[in-house]
Structures are given as C-alpha cells and as structure tokens.
Amino acid sequence: MSSPLDKLRAKAEACDRCDELVAARSRVVFGDGPVAKGGLVVVGDGPGPKEDRRGRCFLGAEGKKARAMMAEAGLDPAAAFWTSVVLCNTGGRAPLPPEVDACKFRLRRTLDILRPRVVLAFGVHAARALCVSAPKTHRTMRKLHGYIYDVGLKVRGNRQVITVVVPTWPPRYLVRDGAARFEADCREDFARAKALLYGAQATGAWFCRELPVDYGKGAR
C-alpha cells in the first residue's frame, strides 16, 4: 500500500501547472531522505540542472558546502529530508511567484506528513513560502535571517503540531566571493536549528537579534 508521501510524490510527478518548467524538466525532483516524524526537513528554492539530471536535491559545490557546514554544526545531513519549494528545474534562476504559488500547497502537505520539529529554509523563496506569519517588511533574507517562525501543521483529527522554521542564506552564497560573511550567519542558523531540534525553547533574543547590515551587492 502506498504511503501518504508516496501518493503526494506521484501527484507531484504528474503536475503540469507551469508550462515553462514542465518543458525544461527531465524529472520532478520531489525530495529525498528518511521519513521520520519530529526530525529535520531542509527546504531550498528549487532544483537546477544538476539536480534535474540526478533526481536529488542540493548537489554540486553549493550543496556539498551546505552539507559539510551542517555536519560541522552537529546536524546530520543524512538524517534530514531534503526538498524544495519548486520541484522542477528552473535552469539556475530563482523561481517565479506563480511557480512558488503552484507548488506551495504540495510543500505544506509534505510537512504535514513528515511533521518535522525544525525546518531549515535555504533562501528567501523557501522562507517566504513557509513563514506566512512573517511581517510584511521581512521580504528579503537580510530581514528574515536571525529570526525564527512557528508554523502550524495539520494532522489527523483537526489537531495542529507546531514546527519551527529557521531561514538562512541559500547555498550558492557559500561558494561566492565574500562568502565568509554568509558562512558566519549560516553557522549561527545551523547552531540554532540544532538546539531547537534537540529540545531547546525559542527565546526572545532569537526573534530580536540585531541584524548585520552590509552584505554587499546582490544579497537578497
């Protein structure tokens, strides 16, 4: 018998909502990793050509760097479920708002099934798709970074469980010129995610930390 996640995967693989992405993809990169409730889910903005060819999330130098830094912080990459806001190859560009909207329900349903304790959101599109309670001023990673957000997940019997979303910089920022400033932020975020994953409670300082202001051109 198919599991709820298998059924959702099959539905996603048959999706044809976004003409441009359907034409560009060779497969739907649904996600991979252990299906264990109360764990860690990692969400990126979307797969690129490498991920499209191999059918896995977060590949290449960017993904390798992100996984290595997570491991250094005490987060086991192999124990996380990895997925993206958009599941089709975007060709390396950021997903467009209609593409995010078309995939948002599937992402939330994935989290409803997995019921993670913590979600690590790499990139502004992943963070905004999940952090619906974020202030309207929090439109960029400069604003989202340094905060955490509670998100209610639906489970059987109309009950809700709460997962915590930790936004952080996308992996491509970790392999670009001037990456050190982003690496420092990510290490803080990974440490925060680890603490929350293993039972720490959110503190006011995590919501109100003074944010760095100079990330250079192109930082969103």
Give the C-alpha separation, 106 to 11, whole Å. 9
Return the sign of the alpha-carbon dihedral for residues 155, 74, 182, 42: negative
Q: In this predicted model, which residue has the larger pLDDT, 205 or 89? A: 89
What pTM was estimated for this model as a whole? 0.87
Q: Each residue of 118-150: pLDDT tens digit?
A: 999 999 999 888 876 666 666 788 888 888 888
User: What's residue 205's pLDDT?
Assistant: 40
The CATH class given to the 20-201 domain equals alpha beta
Band the pLDDT of 89: cuts 50, 70, 90: very high
Phi, psi of 157 (to 5 degrees): 75, 20
The per-residue DSSP string of 54-122 comes to HT-SS-HHHHHHHHHHHHHTT--GGGSEEEESS-S--TTSPPPHHHHHHHHHHHHHHHHHH--SEEEEE
Would the pLDDT of 94 be above 70?
yes
Give the C-alpha separation, 148 to 195, whole Å. 12
Looking at residues 29-44, what average pLDDT do you find?
Answer: 92
What are the residue ranges spanned by the domains of the chain?
A: 20-201
